């Protein structure tokens, strides 16, 4: 008889089981969908991080960025200085809905020399983790002038993991991979260490190494052979490695970031937004 208590309990158990069988997969699907949406949302922000060379401050790229913003659709700018205690000072801001902002990371202790460059790479890692946690990005691109390119390279080899974020493109400008040494057969300790650690570089990375030639020997500060030594580090380790040499006007070491030819390379190879000219002429 259907009114017996055990029959009612059986029906309740069967109903609960049916609800659970439907609800559990639905809950898993919802969690998976929400997670996927978060990943897609976070991946929309792909900042371009600039690191200046030794003795330069967070203001180093002001002129470059102003020129880029005149020639492209514009990007917001956040400037960060990392202090020896790991604290950050910031100015500027990332604008809402800007998915390709510029972030300049400099160091209050910005001395030259391999020992200091290694320390600056550690400080950059501190700043990077804080920036990634604050702004929730999982992809980024980078531009390093002079020793800024060395800091990026050390960071990629020693600190960045797949769990942190993915670096998709890197442009180094006048970077002395073999310091002041002009003889490629005489490898400095820096170049030796970078070559030794190259297996840790991200395999999906595209690298552009830009060198200047104010004279046939180099840009007046960095020997051409030193700037070209990046091939021993990146070639056959990353997805693409391209070496570029510019000469003529603004090819001196300190002038390279403002060199219009290099700015054109940045627009072409680093940025994803269209230039103002391409907007006027589809």
**Residue 280's pLDDT band (cuts 50, 70, 90):** very low
Q: Report yes or no on 13 lying in a domain.
A: no
Tell me if 3 is assigned to some domain: no
Confirm whether 276 is domain-assigned. yes
171 has a pLDDT exceeding 80: yes
Looking at the domain assignment, is residue 9 inside a domain? no
Per the structure, the complete domain to which residue 238 belongs is given by 47-280
Q: Report if residue 39 sits inside a domain.
A: no
Examine residue 110 and state whether it is found in any structural domain, yes or no.
yes
List Cα–Cα distances, 213 to 71, 199, 209, 235, 255, in angstroms.
25, 30, 13, 22, 11
* Over residues 7-33, mean pLDDT: 56
Q: What is the pLDDT of residue 282?
A: 39
Total domain count, the chain: 1
What burial class does residue 251 get, using C-beta atoms within 10 Å of its C-beta: 0-12 exposed, 13-18 middle, 19+ buried? buried
Does residue 173 carry a pLDDT above 60? yes
pLDDT at residue 255 tops 90: yes
**For residues 231-257, average pLDDT:** 96
* Mean pLDDT for the chain overall: 88
pLDDT band at 175 (very low <50, low <70, confident <90, very high): very high
Residue 21 lies in a domain: no
CATH of the domain at 267: 3.40.50.1820
pLDDT over 70 (residue 223): yes
Report the half-sphere exposure of 256 (CA within 13 A, side-chain side): 32
Q: Which 3 state secondary structure label does DSSP give 79?
A: strand
Instruction: Please tell me the predicted confidence (pLDDT) of residue 149.
Output: 98
Number of residues assigned to the chain? 282
DSSP, collapsed to helix, strand or coil, labels residue 123 as helix
Quick check: is 261 in a domain? yes
- Is the pLDDT assigned to residue 11 strictly greater than 70? no
Residue 43 has a pLDDT of: 56
- Judged against a pLDDT cut of 50, whether residue 39 lies above it is answered with no
Return the H-helix or E-strand segment holding 128: helix 114-135
Give the residue-averaged pLDDT of 202-211. 97
Q: Does the model's pTM come out above 0.85?
A: no
Higher pLDDT, 18 or 277: 18
């Amino acid at each position: 008889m259907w009114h017996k208590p055990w029959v009612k309990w059986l029906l309740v158990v069967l109903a609960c089981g049916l609800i659970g069988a439907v609800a559990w997969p639905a809950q898993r699907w919802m969690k998976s969908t929400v997670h996927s949406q978060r990943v897609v949302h976070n991946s929309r922000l792909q900042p371009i991080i600039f690191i200046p060379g030794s003795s330069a401050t967070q203001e180093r790229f002001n002129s470059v960025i102003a020129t880029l913003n005149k020639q492209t659709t514009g990007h917001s700018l956040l400037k960060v200085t990392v202090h020896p205690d790991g604290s950050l000072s910031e100015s500027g801001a990332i604008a809402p809905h800007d998915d390709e902002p510029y972030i300049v990371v400099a160091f209050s202790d910005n001395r030259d020399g391999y020992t200091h460059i290694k320390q600056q790479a550690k400080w950059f890692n501190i700043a990077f983790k804080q920036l990634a946690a604050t702004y929730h990005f999982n992809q980024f691109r980078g531009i390093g002038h002079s020793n800024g390119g060395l800091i990026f390279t050390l960071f990629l080899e020693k600190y960045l993991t797949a769990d942190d974020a993915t670096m998709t493109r890197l442009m180094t400008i006048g970077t002395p991979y073999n310091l002041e040494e002009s003889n490629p057969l005489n490898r400095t300790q820096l170049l030796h260490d970078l070559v030794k650690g190259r297996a840790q570089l991200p395999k999906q990375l595209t690298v552009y190494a830009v060198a200047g030639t104010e004279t046939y020997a180099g840009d007046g500060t960095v020997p051409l052979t030193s700037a070209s030594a990046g091939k021993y580090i990146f070639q056959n380790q990353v997805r693409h490695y391209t070496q570029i040499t510019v000469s003529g006007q603004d090819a001196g070491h300190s002038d390279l970031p403002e060199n219009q030819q290099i700015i054109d390379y940045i627009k072409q190879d680093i940025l994803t937004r269209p230039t103002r000219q391409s907007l006027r002429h589809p």
